[in-house]
A and B are shown apart, each in its own frame.
Chain A
Amino acid sequence: MQNPYLPREAEIVERIQEAPTIFTLRLRFTDPAAQHAYNYVPGQFNMIYLYGVGEVAISIVSDPEETETLDHTIRAVGRVTRALSRLRPGDRIGVRGPYGRGWPLLKAQGKDVALITGGLGCAPLVSVIRYIVARRERFRRLMIMQGVKHSDDLIWHEQYRRWREAPDTQVLLAAEIAGTGWTWHRGLVTALFDRTSIAPGETVVFLCGPEPMMRAAIYELGQRGVADGDIWLSMERNMHCGLGHCGHCMIGAPFVCRDGPVFPYPELKVLLGVKGF
């Protein structure tokens, strides 16, 4: 029987510093057959293993059609991620995955897509932005709404500028605390709803970020007539196995690793925001 817990070796081919504590690792499996066989959808994640330290769940941000490498954007906040931040090209790590349910991109085809993110939790949605921008004709309007605590926290300035140039694409950014030179909105991401128009029934909404921000966004969307079933969220929980075995990531019945991390809002509605779940 196959050992589902066993990582495969991957090499860091590039390390990109995105912000003081945020970096992207571009990886390639050292076994070409493993690299060739690997495929995923935006929103899925890998368990990344650092030798002697342990594993951590990280979402995949590259385009699924980029078959030579895969990217993970990581914020150095914990025991494993801080150690991962010290890696350099040529270093080896372990990877197993992809795991979980990704974003419903087929369902979103032919519709308006609103992507709303908060804080530094935008990585799982960046893969979606890139995916849609690269296949722009399959989707209608694209609305990208990103909120950060401090304007210095915003990463990918250049990409946001480029995405803004894509056809029929609106980029709206907000910072609660704005430093000098910030030309975008000052305040919460939810205030950006007044600067765009969301067409209920024709729009699919993807949310990612801190749960209070997602709940506030869901409230605003409800006010604008967006049905619960058109809203999808990416959730974050403690994960050890990634396979639905270890029990750390449950939110009520769903295992975030296996049934998520992307959920249609109705599946989480009852427990979202209830302290302790």
Chain B
Amino acid sequence: MAERTQFLPRGDFCHLLSALTSAGYRCVGPRVRDGAIVYEPIASAENLPRGVHDRQAPGEYRLEQTAEPRFFAWANGPQALRPLTFAGRDKLWAAERRADGSVEFTGEPPQAESVAVIGVRACDLAALYVYDRHFMQTEHPDPWYTARRQNLFLVAVHCTHPSLNCFCASTGDGPRATYGYDLALSELDEGFLIEARSAKGEQVLAALPVRETSAQETEMADREIESAAQKQVKSVPSRNLRDVLFARLDHPRWNEVAQRCLSCTNCTLVCPTCFCHDETEVPSLDGRRSEHYREWGSCFTQSHSHIHGITIRADTRTRYRQWLTHKVGSWHDQFGRSGCVGCGRCITWCPVGIDITEELAVICR
């Protein structure tokens, strides 16, 4: 693979965007909005967060502007591929009631535009692997997810600037992207090492003004990624904690963490593998039409586990325990791997800074 790696000078990065646009993709990439890195449509390299670093800590996220030339010198933002595949809200179908009382259902399979996502992280690709299994490679594939997923072009950027909350090296999911992308970039000050992994990736690469990568550039890029792994300060105790967690359902730490947890659902909404959702009904005011939606849900709400007369998880202790035992426990039975990809978002965006690695360390010690 190394011999096929090409080099795209920084000044020519705009050609990547125009090649993708010419290939029929709408480009979505990182940009700064409301003080965070978000993935939104980008028109040019000018939109990218040049020189921006993120400082993350439990319950903390801050951006810093520097004069540095790099576009991807940060770890992540609150979200990446999740809203682009599993949207926050989808209309699944609509019902219309005719004058004779009959009800007609319409729910056209969705159309999805072709989207190229620039700056996908290894942790996001690992999460996508899980989503693919959950929404697409199943007995009843989800048409919305599938349509969006199949029209994605993924441009990964290997991570060189992990945050204090990152622990992908310990989950085995990063910082280097190793699968699931069309193109992968390593960013150096002067430009990008670029490598294709799919036929459509090769096609786009062929349209770029690239040159051969020097051995020195390859070595420098590799060293930065290795250093990104070494810089990570958090880790999970093991990649498979299923048995130990289910053996400790009565651990006192569940009570202790429940004293801090606000059951606010933030962790489940920023998690790139959380898939729980609610179906909701929205009737029109004139009563002639009713629409049926799917919206992101969370196991931290009371309604999530409510059945007539009973709430299975009535308190925060059982909700936090459900989330964690599912995420890093029963996930192994469902998907053959942990549901945690080490992105650290649940730690950063928790308003009280609950740290999944710290909780696991105590419970699994």
Tell me whether A and B are bound partners.
yes
List residues of A whose CB falls within 8 A of some B CB.
Answer: 1-9, 30, 49, 51-55, 77-78, 81, 90-94, 236-238, 240-241, 243-248, 250, 252-253, 258, 270, 274-277
When the two chains form their complex, are residues B139 and A3 in contact, meaning their CB atoms are under 8 A apart?
A: no
Closest-by-CB residue of A relative to B317 is A276
Closest-by-CB residue of A relative to B108 is A3
Among the 9-residue stretches B66-74, B76-84, B114-122, B306-314, the one with 4 or more Cβ atoms under 8 Å from chain A is B306-314
Report the minimum CB–CB distance from B146 to chain A (whole Å). Answer: 6
Supplied contacts A240-B278, A258-B139, 13 more A-B pairs, CB within 8 Å: A1-B143, A5-B294, A51-B290, A54-B279, A93-B103, A236-B307, A237-B305, A237-B312, A238-B305, A238-B307, A244-B140, A245-B277, A248-B304
CA distance A253 to B327 in the complex (A): 10
Contact of B93 among A6, A77, A81, A270 (CB under 8 A): A6
When the two chains form their complex, are residues B102 and A30 in contact, meaning their CB atoms are under 8 A apart?
A: yes
Residue contacts A-B, CB under 8 angstroms, 7 given: A3-B107, A4-B142, A5-B292, A54-B280, A236-B307, A238-B307, A252-B329
When the two chains form their complex, are residues A90 and B101 in contact, meaning their CB atoms are under 8 A apart?
A: yes
A residues near B102, Cβ cutoff 8 Å = 9, 30, 92
Q: A3-B92, A52-B281 are in contact. Are A248 and B305 (CB under 8 A)?
A: yes
When the two chains form their complex, are residues A241 and B279 in contact, meaning their CB atoms are under 8 A apart?
A: yes
When the two chains form their complex, are residues A250 and B330 in contact, meaning their CB atoms are under 8 A apart?
A: yes
When the two chains form their complex, are residues A240 and B103 in contact, meaning their CB atoms are under 8 A apart?
A: no
Report the minimum CB–CB distance from A58 to chain B (whole Å). Answer: 12
When the two chains form their complex, are residues B141 and A1 in contact, meaning their CB atoms are under 8 A apart?
A: yes
**B144-174 CB contact bits vs A (8 Å, 1 = yes)?**
0011000000000000000000000000000
- Count B-side interface residues using an 8 Å CB cutoff: 58
Contact of A253 among B140, B303, B330 (CB under 8 A): B330
Closest-by-CB residue of A relative to B299 is A247
- The count of A-to-B residue pairs whose CB atoms sit within 8 angstroms is 140
Closest-by-CB residue of B relative to A57 is B307
B residues near A274, Cβ cutoff 8 Å = 249
When the two chains form their complex, are residues A92 and B334 in contact, meaning their CB atoms are under 8 A apart?
A: no
When the two chains form their complex, are residues A245 and B143 in contact, meaning their CB atoms are under 8 A apart?
A: no
Q: Is B207 located at the chain interface by the 8 A CB criterion?
A: no
Task: List CB contacts (< 8 Å) of B118-141 with chain A.
Answer: 134-135, 138-141
Q: A252-B325, A276-B312, A276-B322 are in contact. Are A6 and B297 (CB under 8 A)?
A: no
Q: Is B283 located at the chain interface by the 8 A CB criterion?
A: yes
Report the minimum CB–CB distance from A239 to chain B (whole Å). Answer: 9
When the two chains form their complex, are residues A245 and B107 in contact, meaning their CB atoms are under 8 A apart?
A: no
CA distance A236 to B312 in the complex (A): 11
B residues near A244, Cβ cutoff 8 Å = 138-140
Output the residue of B142, B283, B306, B326 with the most chain A CB within 10 A: B142
Q: A244-B140, A253-B334, A277-B322 are in contact. Are A54 and B246 (CB under 8 A)?
A: no
Contact of B277 among A3, A30, A247, A277 (CB under 8 A): A247
When the two chains form their complex, are residues A245 and B325 in contact, meaning their CB atoms are under 8 A apart?
A: no
B residues near A277, Cβ cutoff 8 Å = 312, 322
When the two chains form their complex, are residues B143 and A3 in contact, meaning their CB atoms are under 8 A apart?
A: yes
CA distance A238 to B302 in the complex (A): 11
Q: Is B109 located at the chain interface by the 8 A CB criterion?
A: yes
A residues near B142, Cβ cutoff 8 Å = 4, 245
CA distance A78 to B308 in the complex (A): 6
Report the minimum CB–CB distance from B359 to chain A (whole Å). Answer: 16
Report the minimum CB–CB distance from A231 to chain B (whole Å). Answer: 21
A residues near B140, Cβ cutoff 8 Å = 4, 243-245
Q: Is B276 located at the chain interface by the 8 A CB criterion?
A: yes
> Lowest 9 A-B CB distances belong to which pairs?
A276-B318, A247-B276, A253-B333, A253-B330, A52-B283, A4-B140, A77-B308, A54-B281, A5-B92
Report the minimum CB–CB distance from B189 to chain A (whole Å). Answer: 44
Closest-by-CB residue of A relative to B109 is A1
A residues near B143, Cβ cutoff 8 Å = 1-4
